[in-house]
C-alpha cells in the first residue's frame, strides 16, 4: 500500500514531464491528486438508439461498423476519415479529423460504443469525432458517469482520470473525520466511499451524494476549527475592567449616538467587565457609525490603563481614523499615534519607541502594526476595521502582540450570511441596524455616454452649492487592451477641458503614501472640488461634504464594491447622488446595475452579488481571508453549512480534546486548512 503523502511520481505513467504538468495544478502527492475533484460530470450511462439521438445533445449509442474506414489526405496536416455505422434503428456517417491511427481500430463488422453529438440538417445527420470503445473493453470513456477535471496545458482529462484511479487503487482515502453518529444523523457517506464516488460515481445520484459529503466535510473542518479557537480563548482569563464610565467620552462627542451605537457600546462594556477576552464583531451597513463604537471601546481600554490598537486595511483609512480619533480623544488627555508603512524610517522608529514605552495609548495603523518590530507595552484591545479585507489569521497575528487582548472586529457589512458565519463563526455579534438621523437614501442612476453633458452639468451644480464630488475610474492608466476610463487621463481631461475653473484632484493606489495623504487631506478640507480616484477610496473614507459619486464603467465593479463606493456619499445632512455610467449593452449586466439603483439595502445587494460572482470575486480582487474551499459553493450550500456547524459545535463539546483516531485526524485537518488560508491559530 502507498501512503497519501507519497509523490505522484510513484504512479505508472507519471514521469518528470507529467509531474510538472500536475504541479501546475498544485498536485504533488497522492493526496493532492485524490483531492483534485471533478468540476462536473457527463452522464454517459444511458445507451440511446440511433434514431433517438438528438441534434447537438451528446449521448452514447451502440453501433456496428458498416464499412472499412477510409482516410483521405486533404493537405499537409489535414486527414479526414469517414466511416458508416448502424444499429437496428438507423445509420449514421461518422467523420474524424486527423485521427487516422485511432480510426484504424474500427473494424468492419464489429460493434462499438460511441459517444458524441449528432449534427444535422435536411440532407441528413452525421457526427464528428465521437469517442468510442469496443463493446468488450472496460468502460473508460463510455457507459459511465465521466468526471470532468480542471485541467492545464498538456494534461488531458483521461490522463488525470487514469492517475486518480491508480491512486485510489494503491492507497487508502483520507481518514474519516466525521463521527459515526453525525454521519448517520445527517445521512452522509463514509469517507472512503465518498472519495471513491466523487471520482468514479456509478450514477449521477452517487456523484451528488459524494459531493454533499465532501462539502459537509469542508464546512465541518472549518467550523470545528473556529469552535476550537473560540473554546481555547474562552478558557483564558483577564482582569475585569474596573471602570466602564463613559460620561467624559459621551460629553466629547459632537452628536448624540444612535440607539444601535449605544447598544453596541453597552455590549462591549459588559464584555470588558467579564474577566475573559472579548471576541466581538460590530456589523453595520456603510455609514452606520462603527468608528465611534470602536472609539468608545478604545477609550475604556485606555481608562483601565491599557493600550488599544486599531488596524485599517488602507493607509488612507488609517490616516482618516487617526485624524478623527485624535480630534475626539486628545482633548480627553489620550495620546493617539499613527503607524503606517509609508512613514519615514525615522518617524516609524520614534512612533515604535513610544508604543514600546507605553506613552502612545491609542495606536492607529495599517498592517505595519503586525510587523515584528512593533512591540507594545501593554496591548489590551485590538480593533480591526473593515475586517473582511484581512485574512482570518491576521487578527490573531495582531492579537499575538498582547497577552490575550480583547478583540473587536468591525466589518463593512453587509456580507451574506454564509460568509459571515464562516468568517466570524467564532465571534459574538453586535449589529448597527440604524443610520444616524437625517440621512436620506442616496439616489442612484444608471446612464450611458449620451448623458455626459448632463453629468458634467450636475457636477458643476453640486460644486456651485458648496459640495464636492468623487469620480471613480476602473483603471489608473490607459491600457491598449481595455477601453476603460483611466483616472490619470480622465482627471487631466476634466481639469483641462471640462472644468478649467474648478479644482480637480487625482488619487490612486500607485501614489506614494505621503502624496495620497496630502491629496486626501486637501479633499477633506474642501480644497478640492472634484476628486478623480480609483477604488482606493472604496472603504471607510468619510468626507460628509461630498454629495456626488460618479462611477465610470460601473459594470467593471462588483455590486458590493459599488455599494461601498456609494457609501462614500450621503454621510452628511445634504441630499446625495450616485451616477453609474456604463456603455455595456449586456442585458444581465444592466440588470445587475439597475438592482443597485433600486435598493440601498446592503444586505440584499451582497446576497445578489455573491450569487452572481461567487465568493472568490466577492470582495473584488483582494483576499477575502477565507480558506480555499475545494467543493463547497458559498452561495448555495447554506443548508449544509448550517448542518455542519451544528454538528461540529456538538463535536467540540463532547470530543474536542478526545484522543481517538478520528478526533486526531480532524485536528490535523483543521491545522492543514488554516495553514492553507494563511491563518495562524492561537
Ligand atoms: P462606518 O460605519 O461606515 O464606518 P463611520 O463611523 O465612518 O461609518 O461614520 C459615518 C459618518 O457618520 C461619520 O462622519 C461620523 O462622524 C458620523 N456619525 C457617526 N455616528 C453619528 C451619530 N450618532 N450622529 C451623527 N453622525 C454620526
Ligand atoms: Mg468605517
260 in the same domain as 385: yes
Q: Is residue 624 part of a domain?
A: no
Of all protein residues, the one whose alpha carbon is nearest to atom 15 of ligand 1 is 289
Residues 385 and 524 in one domain: no
Nearest to 4 by CA among 28, 20, 39: 28
Q: Do 328 and 187 lie in a common domain?
A: no
pLDDT, one tens digit per residue, over 631-640 is 776 656 777 8
Query: Is 345 inside a domain boundary?
Result: yes
| Residue 245 and residue 666 in contact, taking contact as beta carbons nearer than 8 Å | no
Q: Of 405, 432, 459, at which residue does a domain stop?
A: 432
**DSSP result, 660-677:** SHHHHHHHHHHHHHHHHT
Instruction: State the sign of the Cα–Cα–Cα–Cα dihedral 97, 99, 102, 107.
Output: positive
Mutate which of 287, 434, 560, 566 for ligand 1 pocket (most atoms within 8 A of beta carbon): 287
Looking at residue 394, its pLDDT comes to: 64
At which of 102, 126, 143 does a domain end? Answer: 143
Q: How does residue 389 score in pLDDT terms, banded at 50, 70 and 90?
A: low
Shared-domain flag, residues 367 and 503: no
Q: Hey, whose CA ends up nearest to atom 9 of ligand 1? A: 289
Residue ranges around ligand 1 (CB below 6 Å): 255-258, 261, 284, 286-292, 436, 542, 544, 571
* CA angle (506 as vertex; 505, 507 as ends), nearest 5: 130
Q: Which among 541, 572, 599 is the end of a domain?
A: 599
What CATH number has the domain bearing residue 395?
3.40.50.300
Q: Answer for the pair 250, 418: CB distance below 8 angstroms, yes or no.
A: no
d(CA 319, ligand 2 centre) in Å: 12
Tell me, in angstroms, the distance from the centre of ligand 2 to residue 369's CA. 18
Q: Does one domain contain both 490 and 585?
A: yes
**Residue 365 Cα, ligand 2 centroid: separation in angstroms?**
14
Q: Do residue 538 and residue 412 come from a single domain?
A: no
Cα 572 to ligand 1 centroid, rounded to whole Å: 9
- Contact (Cβ atoms closer than 8 angstroms) between residue 600 and residue 576: no
Query: Does 545 have pLDDT greater than 50?
Result: yes
- The atom number, within ligand 1, closest to the CA of 324 reads 16
| φ and ψ at residue 63, rounded to 5 degrees | -150, 155
Indicate whether 634 belongs to any domain: no
Contact predicate 13/159, CB 8 Å:
yes
Query: Could you tell me if 101 and 84 are in contact, meaning their C-beta atoms sit under 8 angstroms apart?
Result: no
Q: Which atom of ligand 1 is nearest to 291's Cα?
A: 6
Ligand nearest to the CA of 295: 1
How many whole angstroms from 288 Cα to the centroid of ligand 1?
6
Name the closest-CA residue to atom 5, ligand 1.
Answer: 289
Alpha helix (H) ranges present in 334-486?
Answer: 345-357, 392-399, 417-424, 452-464
The pLDDT, as a whole number, for residue 182 is 87
**207/64 same-domain check:** no
Residue 333 and residue 448 in one domain: no
Q: Which residue has its alpha carbon closest to ligand 1 atom 12?
A: 289
- Give me the phi and psi of 499, to 5 degrees please: -125, 60
> Do 353 and 288 have their domain in common?
yes
Tell whether 259 and 405 lie within a shared domain.
yes
**Residue 590 domain-assigned?**
yes
Nearest ligand (C-alpha, residue 564): 1
- Kindly give the pairing relationship between strand 428-432 and strand 279-284: parallel
Residues 428 and 447 in one domain: no
Q: What's the domain range around 682?
A: 173-235+647-682
The verdict on 318 and 414 lying in the same domain is yes
Ligand 1 atom with least separation from CA of 385: 4
Q: Report the domain count for the chain.
A: 4
Kindly state whether residue 57 falls inside one of the protein's structural domains: yes
For the stretch 446-502, pLDDT in tens is 999 999 999 999 999 999 999 999 999 998 877 766 666 789 999 999 999 999 999
What confidence tens digit (pLDDT) does each residue in 602-641 have?
A: 877 877 777 766 544 444 333 344 556 677 766 567 778 8
Which CATH number do you get for residue 117? 2.40.50.140
Q: Average pLDDT, whole number, for the chain?
A: 87
Burial status of residue 157 (CB atoms within 10 A of its CB: 0-12, 13-18, 19 or more): middle
Backbone phi, psi, residue 605, to 5°: -60, -40
Atom of ligand 1 nearest to the CA of 571: 11
pLDDT in tens, 644-655: 888 888 777 766
Identify whether 319 is part of a domain: yes
74: in domain:
yes
As a whole number of angstroms, the distance between CA 170 and CA 481 comes to 49
Q: Tell me whether residue 609 is in a domain.
A: no
Amino acid at each position: 500500500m502507498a501512503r497519501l503523502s507519497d509523490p505522484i511520481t510513484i504512479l505508472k505513467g507519471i514521469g518528470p514531464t507529467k509531474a510538472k504538468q500536475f504541479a501546475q495544478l498544485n498536485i504533488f502527492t497522492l493526496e493532492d491528486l485524490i483531492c483534485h475533484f471533478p468540476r462536473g460530470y457527463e452522464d454517459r450511462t444511458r445507451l440511446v438508439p440511433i434514431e433517438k439521438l438528438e441534434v447537438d445533445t451528446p449521448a452514447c449509442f451502440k453501433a456496428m461498423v458498416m464499412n472499412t474506414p477510409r482516410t483521405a489526405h486533404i493537405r499537409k496536416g489535414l486527414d479526414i476519415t469517414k466511416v458508416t455505422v448502424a444499429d437496428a434503428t438507423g445509420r449514421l456517417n461518422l467523420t474524424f479529423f486527423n485521427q487516422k491511427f485511432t480510426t484504424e481500430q474500427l473494424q468492419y463488422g464489429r460493434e462499438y460504443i460511441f459517444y458524441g453529438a449528432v449534427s444535422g440538417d435536411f440532407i441528413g445527420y452525421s457526427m464528428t469525432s465521437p469517442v468510442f470503445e469496443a463493446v468488450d473493453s472496460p468502460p473508460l470513456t463510455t457507459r459511465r458517469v465521466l468526471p470532468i477535471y480542471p485541467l492545464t496545458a498538456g494534461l488531458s482529462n483521461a490522463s488525470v482520470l487514469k492517475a486518480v484511479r491508480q491512486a485510489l487503487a494503491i492507497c487508502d482515502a483520507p481518514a474519516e473525520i466525521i463521527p459515526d453518529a453525525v454521519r448517520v444523523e445527517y445521512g452522509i457517506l463514509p469517507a472512503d466511499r465518498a472519495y471513491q464516488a466523487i471520482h468514479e460515481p456509478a450514477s449521477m445520484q452517487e456523484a451528488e451524494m459524494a459531493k454533499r459529503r465532501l462539502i459537509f466535510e469542508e464546512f465541518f473542518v472549518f467550523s470545528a476549527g473556529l469552535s476550537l479557537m473560540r473554546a481555547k480563548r474562552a478558557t483564558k482569563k483577564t482582569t475585569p475592567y474596573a471602570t466602564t464610565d463613559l460620561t467624559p467620552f459621551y460629553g466629547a462627542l459632537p452628536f448624540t449616538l444612535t440607539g444601535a451605537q449605544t447598544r453596541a457600546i453597552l455590549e462591549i462594556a459588559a464584555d470588558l467587565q467579564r474577566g475573559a477576552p472579548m471576541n466581538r464583531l460590530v456589523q453595520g451597513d456603510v455609514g452606520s457609525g462603527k468608528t465611534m463604537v470602536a472609539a468608545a471601546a478604545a477609550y475604556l481600554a485606555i481608562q483601565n490603563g491599557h493600550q488599544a490598537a486599531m488596524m485599517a486595511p488602507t493607509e488612507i483609512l488609517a490616516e482618516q481614523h487617526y485624524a478623527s480619533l485624535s480630534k475626539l480623544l486628545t482633548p480627553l488627555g489620550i495620546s493617539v499615534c499613527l503607524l503606517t508603512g509609508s512613514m519615514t524610517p525615522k518617524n516609524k522608529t520614534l512612533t515604535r519607541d513610544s508604543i514600546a514605552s507605553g506613552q502612545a495609548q491609542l495606536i492607529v495603523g495599517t498592517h505595519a502594526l503586525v510587523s515584528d518590530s512593533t512591540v507594545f507595552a501593554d496591548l489590551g484591545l485590538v480593533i480591526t476595521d473593515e475586517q473582511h479585507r484581512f485574512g482570518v489569521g491576521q487578527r490573531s497575528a495582531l492579537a499575538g502582540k498582547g497577552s490575550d487582548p480583547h478583540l473587536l472586529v468591525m466589518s463593512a457589512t453587509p456580507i451574506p450570511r454564509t460568509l459571515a458565519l464562516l468568517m466570524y463563526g467564532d465571534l459574538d455579534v453586535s449589529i448597527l441596524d440604524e443610520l444616524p438621523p437625517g440621512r436620506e437614501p442616496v439616489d442612484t442612476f444608471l446612464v450611458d455616454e449620451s448623458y455626459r453633458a448632463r453629468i458634467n452639468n450636475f457636477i458643476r451644480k453640486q460644486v456651485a452649492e458648496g459640495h464636492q464630488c468623487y469620480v471613480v475610474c476602473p483603471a489608473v492608466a490607459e491600457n491598449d487592451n481595455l477601453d476603460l476610463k483611466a483616472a490619470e487621463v480622465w482627471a487631466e481631461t476634466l481639469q483641462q477641458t471640462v472644468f478649467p475653473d474648478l479644482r480637480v484632484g487625482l488619487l490612486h493606489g500607485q501614489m506614494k503614501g505621503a502624496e495620497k495623504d496630502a491629496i486626501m487631506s486637501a479633499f477633506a478640507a474642501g480644497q478640492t472640488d472634484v476628486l478623480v480616484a480609483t477604488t482606493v477610496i472604496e472603504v471607510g473614507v468619510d468626507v460628509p461634504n461630498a454629495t456626488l459619486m460618479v462611477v465610470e464603467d460601473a459594470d467593471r465593479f462588483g455590486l458590493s464594491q459599488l455599494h461601498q463606493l456609494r457609501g462614500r456619499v450621503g454621510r452628511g445632512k445634504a441630499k446625495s447622488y450616485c451616477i453609474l455610467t456604463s456603455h455595456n449593452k449586456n442585458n444581465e449586466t444592466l440588470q445587475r446595475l439597475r438592482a443597485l439603483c433600486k435598493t440601498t439595502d446592503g444586505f440584499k445587494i451582497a446576497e445578489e452579488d455573491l450569487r452572481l460572482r461567487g465568493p472568490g470575486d466577492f470582495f473584488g480582487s483582494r483576499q477575502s481571508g477565507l480558506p480555499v474551499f475545494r467543493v463547497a459553493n458559498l452561495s448555495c450550500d447554506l443548508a449544509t453549512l448550517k448542518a455542519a456547524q451544528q454538528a461540529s459545535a456538538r463535536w467540540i463539546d463532547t470530543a474536542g480534546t478526545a484522543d481517538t483516531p478520528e478526533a486526531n485526524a480532524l485536528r490535523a485537518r483543521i491545522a492543514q486548512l488554516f495553514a492553507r488560508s494563511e491563518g495562524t491559530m492561537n
